């Protein structure tokens, strides 16, 4: 969901990110055709997703906390790293629209595309305790996002407060979750039940996911250029969507392994981290973040609408059916088309 005015800048920025990342890659990847890069990227994403989910299950077992909390914290932080990298690079290059647009677009993609896909494979039905608390956190963070977009600025002091608020919520969630039932069944993970291996699997999986997303974006960008697709479409469909690929990978793997708590927790947690964490870091790091008024015209209202919808569904204990999931994915595709009509 990056607005039209900054898509070309997004494309240029992403090309710089890719060229830097490419220099550290094996020559076999550099010589691959675009289709091969896309396949390699998907394989890395799914393998990384498997390691992250397995690590998360084991961490949940060892700490005796619900998988939803691990999804909301450890996994969500890992899958939000690409957004953080793009945001810091963007404000460093004095292109705050990319940072803000990335957060708005990623949050819409996480709800409509990722959670919609999770519903289609039945991964959004069983979530466990803490879902109401986390849904309210998404609602609160979205209200804060709406406020700062309408004001047009996040001063660095507010950015620091947003980070403190996120840390406080994590501490509170951990404390409360210790008294809740719903830790994962130890048989759900094939990893040996040791904390060190679980942490290594989570970090290694995160590294595979990040590299997989980069390789996939690189291949898709090359393929689009080969077939003469415009830069604006490449920027919107690949650059904005690229940072949501880790969430999609983890959600698909968690769903297939019947870990609904990890899947839904990852989506909700990523959306809260995008707002409170990534914009908080970007504003603090840059000494204040100016938000373009064009985001207030349409994109922020799409975020409010989609986040409000999912919060209402979760608070009302309504299961997100496959039909609703299909409508969410269709709605996301329609939103991407609408941006350039």
| pLDDT tens digits, one per residue of 239-283 | 567 778 888 888 888 778 777 777 788 888 889 999 999 999 999
The model scores a pTM over 0.85: no
**pLDDT, average across residues 89-115:** 83
Handedness of CA 112, 113, 118, 119 (dihedral sign): positive
**How far apart (Å, rounded) are the C-alpha atoms in residues 155 and 290?**
8
Q: Which of 3, 1, 15, 6 is nearest to 217 (CA)?
A: 15
Check: CB of residue 41 under 8 Å from CB of residue 213. Answer: yes
| pLDDT tens digits, one per residue of 318-333 | 778 889 899 999 999 9
**How far apart (Å, rounded) are the C-alpha atoms in residues 326 and 132?**
24
DSSP state of 292: -
What pLDDT is attached to residue 17?
45
10 Å Cβ neighbour count for 227? 8
10 Å Cβ neighbour count for 177? 25
What pLDDT is attached to residue 4?
40
| pLDDT tens digits, one per residue of 49-78 | 788 878 887 887 788 777 778 877 877 887
Contacts of 147 (CB under 8 A, 6+ apart): none
Which domains, ranges and CATH numbers included, belong to the chain?
Answer: 4-338 (1.20.1420.30)
User: Which band of pLDDT confidence, cut at 50, 70 and 90, is reported for residue 184?
Assistant: very low
**pLDDT, average across residues 223-235:** 63
Tokens 């705050």 belong to 96
262/234: higher pLDDT: 262
Q: Which of 263, 152, 169, 249 is nearest to 210 (CA)?
A: 249
């Amino acid at each position: 969901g990056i607005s039209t005015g900054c898509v070309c800048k997004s494309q240029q920025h992403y090309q710089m990110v890719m060229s830097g990342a490419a220099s550290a890659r094996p020559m076999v990847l550099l010589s691959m055709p675009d289709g091969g890069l896309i396949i390699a990227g998907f394989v890395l994403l799914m393998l990384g997703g498997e390691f992250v989910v397995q690590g998360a299950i084991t961490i949940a077992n060892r700490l005796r906390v619900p998988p939803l909390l691990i999804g909301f914290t450890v996994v969500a932080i890992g899958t939000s790293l690409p957004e953080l990298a793009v945001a810091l690079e963007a404000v460093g290059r004095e292109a705050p629209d990319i940072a803000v647009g990335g957060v708005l677009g990623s949050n819409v993609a996480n709800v409509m595309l990722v959670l919609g896909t999770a519903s289609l494979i039945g991964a959004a039905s069983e979530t466990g305790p803490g879902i109401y608390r986390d849904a309210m956190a998404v609602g609160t963070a979205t209200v804060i996002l709406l406020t700062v977009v309408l004001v047009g600025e996040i001063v660095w002091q507010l950015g620091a407060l947003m980070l403190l608020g996120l840390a406080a919520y994590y501490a509170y969630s951990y404390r409360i979750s210790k008294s809740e039932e719903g830790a994962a069944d130890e048989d759900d993970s094939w990893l040996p039940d040791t904390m060190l291996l679980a942490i290594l699997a989570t970090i290694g999986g995160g590294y595979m996911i990040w590299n997989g997303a980069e390789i996939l974006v690189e291949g898709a960008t090359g393929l689009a250029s080969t077939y003469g697709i415009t830069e604006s479409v490449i920027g919107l469909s690949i650059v904005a969507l690229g940072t949501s690929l880790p969430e999609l990978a983890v959600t698909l793997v968690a769903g297939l392994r019947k870990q609904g708590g990890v899947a839904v927790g990852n989506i909700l947690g990523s959306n809260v981290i995008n707002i409170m964490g990534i914009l908080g870091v970007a504003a603090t790091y840059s000494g204040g973040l100016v938000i373009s008024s064009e985001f207030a015209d349409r994109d922020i209202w799409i975020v409010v609408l989609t986040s409000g919808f999912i919060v209402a569904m979760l608070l009302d204990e309504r299961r997100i059916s496959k039909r609703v999931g299909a409508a969410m994915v269709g709605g996301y595709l329609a939103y991407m088309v609408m941006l350039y009509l």
